[in-house]
Copies of this chain bind each other. A is one copy, B any other.
Amino acid sequence: MIAVLKPSATQEQIESLTKWLESRGLSVHISKGDFCTILGLIGDTSQIDTELLGSLEMVDSVKRITEPFKNANRKFHPDDSIIDINGLKIGGAHFQVIAGPCSVESPEQILAIAQSVKASGATILRGGAFKPRTSPYAFQGMRGDGIELLLEAKRQTGMPIVTEIMNASHLPVFEHVDIIQVGARNMQNFELLKELGMTRKPILLKRGLANTLEELLMSAEYIIAGGNRNIILCERGIRTFETYTRNTLDLSAVPMLKELSHLPVIVDPSHASGIARLVQPMSMAAVAAGAHGLMIEVHNDPSKALCDGAQSLTPEQFAEVSEKVRKIREVIK
């Protein structure tokens, strides 16, 4: 870490700051120029708050040489992490397609969709049981019962399942869930991340609506700090001023995250735009950008499609996306 001090910094201030930094276990290398003084901080700087340091009167600016995330950092782990999900692999050269409905609604619904998406190339089943809803008056999901239905679909199809957790106290219900999803709104629910770090479950960590890539990796770091290295990162759109799409899918995040970290990176094109007809082009773009997987919403019941269909594909549309994605995969391999 480099701290550039202002020309106005007095000798006394510099000494006081140096002493304080040394008390934090860092060694300080002072380089005095004609026009400013630079402190080079050596040691474990991950516990230093750059924002705090940078806003001291005497400090002009602070710059990390190493990113604040260590365990998630590719520098210290050059090889791709490959996450094992009951024998299925994701990361490196391994690519997986997650598909399923927004919410689990009934035994028939989840099983029919599971069978359909499996036939079209999906390898992992998704389905919402605990649903984060903006309104307290909206359907909050089937909760524990929904997870039971997912587990039944898993037994019948053999597909691993992924579903979202909203509270660490629900963890016992997730015992047989293969991948636990942390939703965008909980990306910085640090108490939840700490609890998930205690498990050894694969965690699908979604980027928050307004979170930077560094913050996403810091949240991954929370989980790894607890001992759980099984993390899959997921880009799902960020909040911008554009209104035609619900969120703006940030596909540059895919190559950028792959450069910064060894963790697998997947893309959710359904939630990003909120528009079913954008799912196909954005799925193809995500794969061309190098994503390790996709997570796509599929519904099955045409009569219900009425209010399920906003961002979900029909099984036929999903089959078409699945086939095109396969071809793009061949090109970029």
Contact = CB atoms under 8 A, between A and B. Distances in A.
Interface stretch (A110-118, A147-155, A181-189): A181-189
Interface in A53-91: 53-57, 60-61, 63, 65, 68
A326 to B, nearest CB: 10
Interface string A240-259: 11111110111111111001
Nearest to A309: B56
Nearest to A66: B35
B29 A40 contact: no
Given A65-B4, A189-B189, A214-B244, A288 B284 contact: yes
A16 interface: yes
Interface stretch (A92-100, A198-206, A218-226): A218-226
B167 A191 contact: yes
Contacts of A49: 135, 138, 307
A288 B327 CA distance: 11
A142 interface: no
Contact of A288 (B38, B167, B193, B328): B328
Nearest to A306: B20
Interface in A1-36: 2, 4, 16-17, 20, 29, 31, 33-36
Scoring A31, A193, A331 by chain B CB atoms within 10 A of each residue's CB, the highest score goes to: A331
A239 B255 contact: no
Contact of A33 (B16, B29, B245): B29
Given A63-B63, A167-B191, A306 B210 contact: no
A281 interface: yes
A212 interface: yes
Given A47-B139, A212-B243, A251-B285, 19 more contacts: A4-B65, A29-B34, A31-B33, A44-B137, A51-B246, A51-B274, A54-B310, A55-B311, A56-B310, A60-B63, A167-B168, A167-B191, A167-B192, A169-B169, A209-B210, A214-B243, A244-B256, A256-B278, A281-B288
22 contacts: A2-B2, A2-B4, A17-B306, A35-B42, A35-B65, A49-B138, A52-B310, A133-B190, A134-B188, A136-B225, A137-B225, A166-B190, A208-B210, A212-B241, A212-B242, A242-B250, A245-B256, A248-B248, A251-B251, A255-B278, A284-B289, A285-B285
